[in-house]
Amino acid sequence: MSDLKLQPDISDEELIRRFQEDDFAAYNAIVHRYKDQLLNFAYRFLGNVEEAEDIVQETFLRLYRNKHAYRQIAKFSTWIYTIAGNLAKTELRKRKRRRVVSISDMGFEDKDHEIKDELANTEQVANSALTEKIIQQAIDELPPRFRQVIILRDIQELSYEEVGSILRIPLGTVKSRVNRARLKLQAKLKDIKMPAL
Amino acid sequence: MKNCDHYTTLFSDYIDGDLDDRARSSLRAHLAACPACAQRLNAMQAVRGSLAQLPHIKTSESFDLLLQARLRREMRQAPRRRPFPLFELNWRVPAYAAAALCLVFFGALLQRRSYSSFIAKSSDSVAMDTVRRTDLAAIEPGYLVFVELDTVNNLYRIINYGGIDNVNSLQDFRRALAQQDDNRTRTGLPNLRTAPQNRSVTMRTRQDMPQLRQAEFIF
Ligand SMILES: [Zn+2]
């Protein structure tokens, strides 16, 4: 299996084709290729590493079970991202349901306010871990549809076309949504002098 | 003359270099005359730069192991429903001397089909050096074994174990252990969750026990 992992010139589509013919080494190579990428996607979307890891596990299990659902007409990467993205959205909904109780227990939480407090000492925002935390918090506050596009486009640096096929929305919509997401993030983060990460 | 709202819709395309000449010069003219938009565009560019530089995380040590275990189960097609084996915690540990360790055991030496005869008992108090090979041999590859480090007596105790074959997620597993932890609190035993979090500890690998590779704080 390590042979396959070490051959970056084999395309994803070729790997999945081999896996569809029951080549398990090809499956392992796909996992090796995508696990960290998908983890970062899920992690930025959910803001929680453990949940993100479970999402990625589930994604690969679905790949295993449903390998024949993949058709060569689509890029493999967008197909697997779609699976991971749907699972992450489901997780988010579950989490919302779980939270109903705790929020009413704890009283109203003003998230925006929390951020501002944290930014009160702007000068002290000097270490990258804190910067990352603040950015992540701002991402967490975006509505999911904006969060998805910004993660795929600006963190994972996929093309607009790829983002469009993952989310199954037209190119024009992707572009305007990315623009709005960037504006929203900019508005949340405008008062911070961003130190280098 | 178009307004700011119109021009902000062009920001992304401008940053990405996707504007045609006319739109671009029209936006530039507006930016020169409108400090608010110019400032916003600048900030947007800065944010975008920071996003691209966010650190990348990697999957944990247990990730591949758990996935392989779940696939094995998947391949067996009809999964036998095994009870999730958890020890009863019925012994005492020196307070605050205990830290929970999660050991992932694997390797060829641990190949064995049946684990129903698992020998390690919750009351076992074994120095790592004296863990009997037979105890470990009863653990299938892919088992998570939770061990407490007793820093006073300088030994490890097996407190809990579970086959990741039977777990659907790392979270499930941790949740099950958290429950055990609550029981501990109720019975006056030290709460393991106060132990250091997620710190990776590299353990000695003994020549005769190469399968014991890594230990990781889980609480
Ligand atoms: Zn303007």
CA A118 to chain centre: 25
For testing contact with chain B, the best of A40, A182, A184 (most B CBs within 10 A): A182
DSSP code per residue over A44-56:
HHHS-HHHHHHHH
B160 strand-pairing partners: B146
Among B43, B48, B51, beta carbon nearest to A190: B43
Domain boundaries, chain A: 1-104, 118-192
Residue B213, pLDDT > 90, answer no
CA A75 to chain centre: 18
Give contacts of B176 with chain A, Cβ < 8 Å: none
Give A195's DSSP letter: -
What is the spatial distance between Cα B102 and Cα B83, in angstroms, rounded to a whole number?
20
Domain boundaries, chain B: 4-52, 63-218
Q: What are phi and psi of B181, to 5 degrees?
A: -65, -40
Tell me the nearest-neighbour CA distance from A52 into chain B, angstroms: 9
B101 strand-pairing partners: B147, B217
Q: What value does the mean pLDDT take over residues B157-161?
A: 49
Q: Residues A33-86: pLDDT tens digits?
A: 999 999 999 999 999 988 999 999 999 999 999 999 998 888 999 999 999 999
Closest chain A residue to the Cα of B42, Cα to Cα: A186
Q: How many helices (H) and strands (E) does chain B have?
A: 7, 5
Give B138's DSSP letter: T
Q: For residue B206, give the nearest of B102, B107, B93, B122 by alpha carbon.
A: B107
Q: What is the pLDDT of residue B60?
A: 78
The set of residues, in sequence order, having a beta carbon less than 8 Å from that of A40 and lying 6+ positions away, is A155, A156, B56, B57
Among B51, B55, B67, beta carbon nearest to A60: B67
- The three-class DSSP label of residue B158 is strand
Q: Residues B86-140: pLDDT tens digits?
A: 332 222 333 223 334 444 443 222 332 222 222 333 333 333 333 333 343 333 4
Task: Determine whether the interchain pair A57/B13 forms a contact, defined as Cβ–Cβ distance below 8 Å.
Answer: no
> In CATH, what number does A118-192 get?
1.10.10.10
Instruction: Give the predicted TM-score (pTM) of the model.
Output: 0.65
Give contacts of B51 with chain A, Cβ < 8 Å: 135, 150, 154-155, 185
Residues within 5 Å of ion ligand 1, judged at the Cβ atom: B 4, 34, 37
Task: Determine whether the interchain pair A183/B174 forms a contact, defined as Cβ–Cβ distance below 8 Å.
Answer: no
What is the spatial distance between Cα A55 and Cα B58, in angstroms, rounded to a whole number?
14
Residues belonging to chain A with any Cβ–Cβ distance to chain B shorter than 8 Å: 31, 35-36, 39-40, 43-44, 49-51, 53-54, 56-58, 60-61, 64-65, 128, 131-132, 135-136, 150, 154-155, 157, 175-176, 178-179, 182-183, 185-186, 189-190, 194, 196-197
Q: Does domain A1-104 have CATH number 1.10.1740.10?
A: yes
Which residue carries 């967008």 as its tokens? A78
Q: Is the ipTM of this structure higher than 0.85?
A: no
Q: What are phi and psi of B150, to 5 degrees?
A: -100, 100
